[in-house]
Structures are given as structure tokens and as C-alpha cells.
């Protein structure tokens, strides 16, 4: 691997993880298309390698958020109960069985659909002092859907979890983002395990990506809360549409 690729992977992961941690979306929707378009990986390799990176992003962000007492542990636990086993099964049995070109196109459509969802999803929240009790069945059901998407494509986990936690669990956006970091870590770890078993991880690239991700997610956790929520949503939706359209054109 040449020096330019080494620096590029670390820098790319740093930028993606900073932004992903700030908005609570992990950054898979940028990371995976970037690995396909910028670093010449096929779709399944990008998902497998990217999922390992998302573990580092989520874990580092979750630790920093938990220290700030922003993580709703009950909601995170019940959501993970649905997402973790589903992510493991989809990563192990589903992702590797999809044709490479079809996989890239499907990922593009998923990203555009997520952009629409992010803009239209309700964001009703509780008062700052409230800590709502976990709504177990609804959280587990939502976790199953998120686990299927994140295990197969390594995207969508944070993008779907944050709106669900604000609308179902009535959490404030920044508490929802913090809780999502915890749930995403567990789901990503399950997905990474499945992709490792299936042989979809390029470890030389993953090591460099993880290095940048740890630095970026630490920075992102410190910056969280300083951006207007509406500006984040617009930027997020724009990024999703651009990434999705790029994959569809490339496919």
C-alpha cells in the first residue's frame, strides 16, 4: 500500500467519524460509498471493512457520551436486543450472497430512501429533565429493522435509530444521538463478526480506518450539540442523496 492511500484512509475515516458522531449516525452512509468510489473496493468488501471501522466510531463516541451521562442505557439495551442478532445473521448470510453490481445499486437506492426518511421523520421530544421508561416492544421491533439494514449494508443504523428514539422514546436529539452511539456499537460489532466469518474484511485498510476513526469520534463527541438541528438534517439529507446518486451512476 502506498503512502497516499495510507494517508487518505486515515484522513477519510477522521472526517467521517467526526461528522458521524456529532449527528449520531455513525457515518456509514459516507464511509461505505467512499470506500467503493475512492478506494476501489467492491460493495461487499467496503461493507465488511467499513463495519469494523463503525465499531471503533461507535465505541469511542459511546464512551465519551456515557461519561457525560447522555446515554439512555435502558433504551439502548432493548433496542440492541432486536438489532444485534439480526445484524449478525444478515452480515453472515445475506450480504455475501448479493451480486456485486446489484449490491452497489441497492445501496444507492437505500441511501436516497434514507434521505427522504430523515427529512420527513417526526422529532417529538420530552422535556430535558425527563428520562422516559423504555418502551420495550417498540424498541425491539425497531431494532430488528435497523439490524437487518445495518448488517447487510452497514448504513442506516444511526439514521433510523435517532428518529425512532426521538419519536418513540421521546428523547432529546442530543440524548438520542448519544444513545444511538451505544446501540450502533453493539449492532456494528455483530455485523463485523458476521463479515469476518464470511471473509469480507480487508484488514490492512481496516487498521488505518480505525486509527482515524478513534481520533475523529473523540473530536465529534466534544463538538456535539453546537450545530443547529435543522442545519444538521439538511446537510445529512444532502450527503445521502449525493452518495446514493453517485453509487447508482457508478453501478
Alpha carbon 175 to its chain centroid, in Å, reads 16
Whole-prediction pTM = 0.73
Give the contacts of 158 (CB within 8 A, at least 6 positions apart): 20, 23, 24, 25, 26, 27, 28, 177, 180, 181, 184
- Which tops the pLDDT comparison, 204 or 90? 204
- At residue 37, the pLDDT reads 87
Tell which wins on pLDDT, 139 or 98: 139
Tens digit of each residue's pLDDT (9 = 90 or more) over 26-73:
778 889 889 988 998 988 899 899 989 988 887 887 888 888 888 888
The per-residue pLDDT for 225 is 63
How many other CB atoms are there within 10 angstroms of residue 239's CB atom? Answer: 20
What distance in Å separates the CA atoms of residue 197 and residue 200, rounded to the nearest whole number? 8
Does the pLDDT of residue 25 top 80, yes or no?
no
Amino acid at each position: 500500500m502506498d503512502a497516499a492511500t495510507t494517508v487518505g484512509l486515515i484522513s477519510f475515516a477522521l472526517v467521517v467519524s467526526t461528522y458521524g458522531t456529532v449527528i449520531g449516525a455513525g457515518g456509514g452512509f459516507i464511509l461505505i460509498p467512499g470506500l467503493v468510489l475512492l478506494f476501489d473496493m467492491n460493495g461487499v468488501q467496503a461493507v465488511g471493512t467499513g463495519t469494523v471501522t463503525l465499531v471503533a466510531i461507535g465505541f469511542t463516541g459511546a464512551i465519551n457520551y456515557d461519561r457525560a451521562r447522555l446515554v439512555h442505557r435502558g433504551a439502548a439495551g432493548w433496542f440492541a436486543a432486536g438489532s444485534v442478532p439480526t445484524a449478525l445473521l444478515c452480515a453472515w448470510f445475506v450480504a455475501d450472497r448479493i451480486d456485486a453490481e446489484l449490491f452497489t445499486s441497492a445501496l444507492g437506492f437505500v441511501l436516497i430512501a434514507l434521505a427522504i426518511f430523515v427529512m420527513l421523520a417526526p422529532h417529538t421530544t420530552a422535556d430535558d429533565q425527563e428520562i422516559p421508561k423504555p418502551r420495550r416492544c417498540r424498541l425491539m421491533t425497531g431494532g430488528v429493522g435497523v439490524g437487518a439494514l445495518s448488517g447487510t449494508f452497514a448504513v442506516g443504523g444511526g439514521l433510523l435509530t435517532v428518529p425512532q428514539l426521538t419519536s418513540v422514546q421521546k428523547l432529546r436529539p442530543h440524548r438520542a444521538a448519544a444513545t444511538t452511539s451505544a446501540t450502533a456499537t453493539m449492532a456494528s460489532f455483530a455485523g463485523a463478526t458476521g463479515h469476518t466469518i464470511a471473509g469480507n474484511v480487508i484488514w490492512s485498510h481496516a487498521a488505518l480506518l480505525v486509527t482515524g476513526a478513534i481520533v475523529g469520534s473523540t473530536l465529534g463527541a466534544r463538538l456535539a450539540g453546537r450545530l443547529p438541528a435543522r442545519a444538521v438534517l439538511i446537510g445529512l439529507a444532502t450527503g445521502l442523496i449525493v452518495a446514493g446518486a453517485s453509487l447508482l451512476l457508478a453501478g
